[in-house]
Amino acid sequence: MTKISSIEVYQIDIPIKEGKYNWSHGNSVSVFDSTIVKINTDKKISGLGEVCTLGSSYLPAYSEGVRTGINKIGKALIGLDPTDLSMINSVMDINLKGHNYVKSPIDMACWDILGKCTNQSVWKILGGKFGKNVRLYRAISQEDPATMSKKVKEYKQEGYTKFQLKVGGDPNEDIERIKLVRSILDKSDVLVADANTGWLMHEALRVIKATEYLDVYYEQPCASYEECLSIRNKTYNPFILDESIDSINTFLRAFHDDAMDIINIKISKLGGITKSKLLRDLCVELGIAMTIEDSWGGDIATAAIAHLAHSTQEKFCFSSTDFNSYNSFNYANGSPQRDKGCFSASDKPGLGVSVDEKLMPVPEFEIK
């Protein structure tokens, strides 16, 4: 039996290539604070995990909380078998109620170890690889409509065919954003207007009624589930829920309420790959398509996203994303690289990534 011998925790800063990333409620980040976890074992096999929260005012998660939480639960994991994923998750849940984002990089690192111990890629353990690659969406940071339209044109040249506009601001500008961008896209291109909870109900209705004649998906228009459901019942366009889906239970409620056509699965929001797989498989069984991603991340998080997305049947994988291409700092080898708007999961054992030791800081702390 393999046993966890130590847990190393690193903090790294990840700047954005474009200088700044903006979305609803005036949120903006230029440098992301990411936490990398390295789990070492007595068999000299190590696993990597990462979580990168989208600031501190997007979801109930923040970067400093990741490291504090790991310091709280880490000791209870020493000596456990990292390939016994059910036990690992049970012990984490017993020692820390909630705070799924804290548990995500630990669970991710354990999947990496499981793959290495069995000489299998994570996608293989998750159910197999579907298709040659996974088509990605490109998130367009919230700016004036003309600037956002210009960026969409540039990303189309790079091969993207799916675009997620960050709306949820002034309704008049959002209407212009959606109309302008849709007008420059091909019929086969996908456009998602993602409000990230930014509209009040009357604002959401204004924007939707002014643009619903276009081929556009609407994502998480309002803050609460009940508000989103109310808006959902007033439009016939495809509807996506993201922030409201934070557990299996909330998904089941939304499914029975016919509250959405697509959901976003963010790995850290659910607590790691283990519970994300559970929700993924449930969506497949119930016929719900998914965007498979995370809140943000670097090379390790992007690798985990790729394995979960690539092991999902193509018709159920609405889209995914390659966060490492948004960043100006890459710290690992083997992470998926975008090619004409697509990426693919590594065929190497585990997640298939290794950190560049020259680029890594010393651990912030180590638990033994």
- For the segment 141-157, the average pLDDT, to the nearest whole number, is 97
pLDDT value, residue 232: 98
Residues 6+ apart with CB under 8 A from 339: 133, 159
244-298 pLDDT, tens digit per residue, is: 999 999 999 999 999 999 999 999 999 999 999 999 999 999 999 999 999 999 9
pLDDT value, residue 57: 80
Q: How far apart are CA 91 and CA 110, in angstroms?
A: 13
Q: Which amino acid is at 352?
A: G
Q: Which H helix or E strand runs over 282?
A: helix 273-286
53-67, 90-104, 144-158, 219-233 — which is least confidently predicted? 53-67
Residues 6+ apart with CB under 8 A from 165: 140, 148, 177, 178, 181, 191, 192, 193, 194
178-218 pLDDT, tens digit per residue, is: 999 999 999 999 999 999 999 999 999 999 999 999 999 99
Please indicate whether residue 277 is annotated as part of the active site. Answer: no
Query: In the predicted model, is pLDDT for residue 56 greater than 90?
Result: no
| Active-site residue, from 103, 162, 266, 277 | 266
67-77 pLDDT, tens digit per residue, is: 999 999 999 99
How far from 353 is each of 79, 127, 138, CA to CA, in Å? 24, 20, 23
pTM of the model: 0.97
Q: What is the CA radius of gyration of the chain?
A: 20
Please indicate whether residue 20 is annotated as part of the active site. Answer: no
pLDDT value, residue 55: 82
Residues 6+ apart with CB under 8 A from 19: 30
Asked whether the CA dihedral 292, 294, 296, 299 is positive or negative, the reply is negative
pLDDT value, residue 59: 86
Residues 6+ apart with CB under 8 A from 140: 148, 151, 152, 155, 163, 164, 165, 166, 181
pLDDT value, residue 205: 98
| Active-site residue, from 166, 269, 275, 277 | 166
